[in-house]
């Protein structure tokens, strides 16, 4: 059976948030029904052990708009979002955390920006935050670095409150800890109209935060990963091959200079030390070895990339004048 076409899907990943779920559900329903949206609420239970799933079951029995997905164990926020995106069928997809720190009252304006202003994605910016300084200061430094590296001018990459056109969430793969960099993944997929909206940040009402300082360390490692993948994921030879060739060339020229210098001394009858006694000989040899290894790493990366299942996965936005498209595809295959 085909999924019903909806105006809005609200995807909310959660871990041990049983107290906040009824209040969050009522709040989302109140906002959506006031705006007249055809909507669904998708709760993704990331292996909670506090009875959150039982609450979701009760809510789903009461409200047909509520859907639930439960992981067998705790996998993380990115897998929860990925599965939620796969199941979402709304024209606009909203993500928000289930701890009530994101306000559902922001939904109508986010939807309007997607529909009327033509944004592919709108990210929330918690300009005024109710977090301790141990979280706000590292967060500002992290976001500054992310802006400089990615070129995307957002103030709060990690804000859970975001809005997307349906095509965006169906075109990206969120994995590992990459939920922080969904704007980067969207841009890499060709969705370049990314906006930002100042949103309300509310104090946590129930439970405790699930994130510690370790997330900032992971965040920087993920930033390196996503930057490399988006720029060189399908052409690793461009990076490793270039660096390897340059390093090998520098080492080779240094070794050549040492050899020419030795021959010049001998030709002019000047006592010359052994080439192997010079530290530059070992530096040049090391440079050539490292250059060769980098080049081989790029070559092996190319082999892996050529064998990947998505090596020819491209997003086609529009097609014109293909009356026999199916027949052409059959012939090509």
Of 205, 232, 259, the one marking the end of a domain is 232
pLDDT one-digit tens code per residue, 243-295: 889 999 999 999 898 888 888 888 888 887 787 788 888 899 999 999 999 88
pLDDT one-digit tens code per residue, 195-206: 999 998 877 777
Query: Is 326 within a domain?
Result: no
Percent of the chain with pLDDT over 90: 41
Q: How confident is the model at residue 320 (pLDDT cuts 50, 70, 90)?
A: very low
218 & 241 share domain = no
Inform me whether the pLDDT recorded for 211 exceeds 90. Answer: no
Q: State the pLDDT at residue 4.
A: 61
Query: Is 321 within a domain?
Result: no
117 & 37 share domain = yes
272 & 200 share domain = no
Q: How many domains does the chain have?
A: 2
167 & 228 share domain = yes
81 & 134 share domain = yes
Query: Is 325 within a domain?
Result: no
Query: Is 315 within a domain?
Result: no
132 & 175 share domain = yes
220 & 275 share domain = no
CATH code of residue 147? 3.90.550.10
206 & 73 share domain = yes
201 & 245 share domain = no
274 & 220 share domain = no
Q: Which domain holds residue 112?
A: 6-232
pLDDT one-digit tens code per residue, 57-92: 999 999 999 999 999 888 888 889 999 999 999 999
Inform me whether the pLDDT recorded for 325 exceeds 60. Answer: no
108 & 203 share domain = yes
Q: How confident is the model at residue 174 (pLDDT cuts 50, 70, 90)?
A: confident
85 & 49 share domain = yes
Query: Is 332 within a domain?
Result: no
| Stated pTM of the model | 0.71
Query: Is 314 within a domain?
Result: no
Inform me whether the pLDDT recorded for 239 exceeds 60. Answer: yes
Query: Is 333 within a domain?
Result: no
Of 182, 210, 232, the one marking the end of a domain is 232
- Which backbone phi and psi does 87 adopt, to 5 degrees? -90, -15
For residue 27, give both structure tokens: 């709040």
Query: Is 83 within a domain?
Result: yes
């Amino acid at each position: 059976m085909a999924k019903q076409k909806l105006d809005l899907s609200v995807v909310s990943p959660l871990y041990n948030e049983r107290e906040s779920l009824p209040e969050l559900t009522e709040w989302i329903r109140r906002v959506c029904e006031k705006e007249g949206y055809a909507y669904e609420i998708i709760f993704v239970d990331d292996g909670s052990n506090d009875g959150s799933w039982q609450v979701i079951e009760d809510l789903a029995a009461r409200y047909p708009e509520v859907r639930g997905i439960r992981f067998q164990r705790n996998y993380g926020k990115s897998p929860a979002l990925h599965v939620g995106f796969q199941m979402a069928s709304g024209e606009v997809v909203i993500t928000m955390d289930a701890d009530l720190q994101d306000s559902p009252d922001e939904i109508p304006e986010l939807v309007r920006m997607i529909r009327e202003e033509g944004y592919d994605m709108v990210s929330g910016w918690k300009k005024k935050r109710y977090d301790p300084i141990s979280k706000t200061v590292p967060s500002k430094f992290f976001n500054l670095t992310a802006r400089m590296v990615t070129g995307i001018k957002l103030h709060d990459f990690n804000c859970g409150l975001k809005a997307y056109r349906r095509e965006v969430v169906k075109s990206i793969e969120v994995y590992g800890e990459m939920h922080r960099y969904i704007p980067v993944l969207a841009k890499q997929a060709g969705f370049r109209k990314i906006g930002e909206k100042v949103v309300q940040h509310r104090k946590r009402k129930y439970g405790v935060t699930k994130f510690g300082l370790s997330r900032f360390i992971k965040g920087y490692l993920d930033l390196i990963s996503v930057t490399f993948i988006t720029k060189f994921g399908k052409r690793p030879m461009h990076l490793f091959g270039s660096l390897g060739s340059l390093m090998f060339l520098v080492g080779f020229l240094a070794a050549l200079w040492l050899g020419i210098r030795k021959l010049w001394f001998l030709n002019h009858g000047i006592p010359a030390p052994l080439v192997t006694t010079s530290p530059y000989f070992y530096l040049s040899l090391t440079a050539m070895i490292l250059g060769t290894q980098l080049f081989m790493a790029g070559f092996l990366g190319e082999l892996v990339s050529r064998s990947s299942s998505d090596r020819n996965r491209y997003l086609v936005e529009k097609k014109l004048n293909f009356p026999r498209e199916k027949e052409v595809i059959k012939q090509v295959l």
